[in-house]
Amino acid sequence: MFCQSRKGIARDYLVFFILAIVGFIIIVFIINIFMGHAKDEVNEEVCRASILSRAKAVFKIKWHGATLESTPLFPVVCKTRENIELTGDRNAVMEQISYMSARCWWMFLNGEYENLFDEFDFLSNKKCFTCYIFTVKSKLEKPITPDDIIIYMNDHYYIGDEEKGGITYLDYIQSYKGNGVIMMRDGDKEEDKLKITGGGYDIYTINFMSPDITWWTKITTGIFSHMQFWKSGIEKEGKTTGMTMSKIYIEELGKQEELDKCKVLESI
């Protein structure tokens, strides 16, 4: 009977691990070349496919009643679409912003999966990928505010229409498959609010934000919840849920990290 030594087994695992890394590097290199020449719609489909592979290709091991998972094996193969110029009146601009927000949400699997980025960081568990970077070229009668966008998303349909029982942009992101949140800077002071202006001067981004829900996140979230003893159980649950939900985040370019909202991940 042939028995392989422990050193031989360790060596085989090391060789397999190295080959796997090299293979992923080659895959990313080839896909990067392909994405550089592909149309925007194809790039978005490739992005979604990579995120789906990343969510599914995870090794799970049961140990003493607990399930241990490996980090995602497939890389995030997504490309930020830049230099988009929006035109038209206020409604036309809001329609384009709503569509890009829904499309970004679709690329990252409608918020159905957690830990898509899986880049553990003690200082911040919130990660962003910028789907779109845009300016508004046309001159607007007045700036578009977060309230304007939310009202538009609530009144207009992304899938179908009202007669056919369609799904609005707002419902698509908040509850269609996974549960999500649309986040924009909306402070108490007027100067703290996000305002989308025309003329092509300011640059804005639409981001997918994913909190990596690790053991550290669960511990800190639990401690934070218990410390707020003056709040009701419903309020605590709502706050905890908000901290662990995926989000579409609309913001000025560069403000995401400046305001400490999320760490922006690089495009492939």
Is residue 168's pLDDT more than 60?
Answer: yes
Per-residue confidence band for 194, with pLDDT thresholds at 50, 70 and 90: very high
Q: What would the pLDDT profile of 20-54 be if each residue is shown by its tens digit?
A: 555 555 555 555 555 555 578 888 999 999 899 88
Backbone conformation region of residue 160, classed left if phi is above 0, alpha if psi is from -120 to 50, else beta: left
Q: What is the pLDDT of residue 154?
A: 97
Q: Tokens 């934070």 belong to which residue?
A: 224
Q: What would the pLDDT profile of 50-79 be if each residue is shown by its tens digit?
A: 899 888 876 555 666 655 555 667 788 899
The residue-averaged pLDDT of 161-177 equals 92
Per-residue confidence band for 191, with pLDDT thresholds at 50, 70 and 90: confident
Q: In sequence order, what E strands does 176-241 have?
A: 180-184, 204-211
Nearest to 263 by CA among 129, 114, 132: 129
Q: What is the pLDDT of residue 234?
A: 40
Query: Alpha carbon of 236 to those of 125, 161, 175, 228, 232: distances in Å?
Result: 19, 36, 21, 8, 6
Query: Alpha carbon of 103 to those of 131, 143, 158: distances in Å?
Result: 9, 23, 10
Is residue 251's pLDDT more than 80?
Answer: yes
Q: What is the pLDDT of residue 232?
A: 46
Q: Which residues contact 128 (CB under 8 A, 6 or more apart)?
A: 207, 208, 209, 210, 249, 256, 261, 262, 263, 264, 265
Check the CA dihedral 191-132-150-237 and report its sign.
negative
Per-residue confidence band for 162, with pLDDT thresholds at 50, 70 and 90: confident
Q: What is the pLDDT of residue 235?
A: 43
Q: What is the pLDDT of residue 237?
A: 46
Q: What is the pLDDT of residue 158?
A: 96
Q: What would the pLDDT profile of 195-235 be if each residue is shown by its tens digit?
A: 999 999 999 999 999 876 655 555 655 555 555 544 444 44
Q: What is the pLDDT of residue 1?
A: 47
Q: What would the pLDDT profile of 96-147 be if each residue is shown by its tens digit?
A: 999 999 999 999 999 998 778 866 555 556 789 999 999 999 999 999 999 9
- pTM for the predicted model, two decimal places: 0.77
Q: Give the pairing type, strands 167-168 and 180-184.
A: unpaired
Helix (H, G, I), strand (E, B) or coil at 145: coil
Q: Tokens 């492939």 belong to which residue?
A: 268
Q: What is the pLDDT of residue 130?
A: 96
Q: What is the pLDDT of residue 35?
A: 53
User: Are 205 and 253 contacting, i.e. CB atoms less than 8 angstroms apart?
Assistant: yes
> What token pair was written down for 104?
């970004």
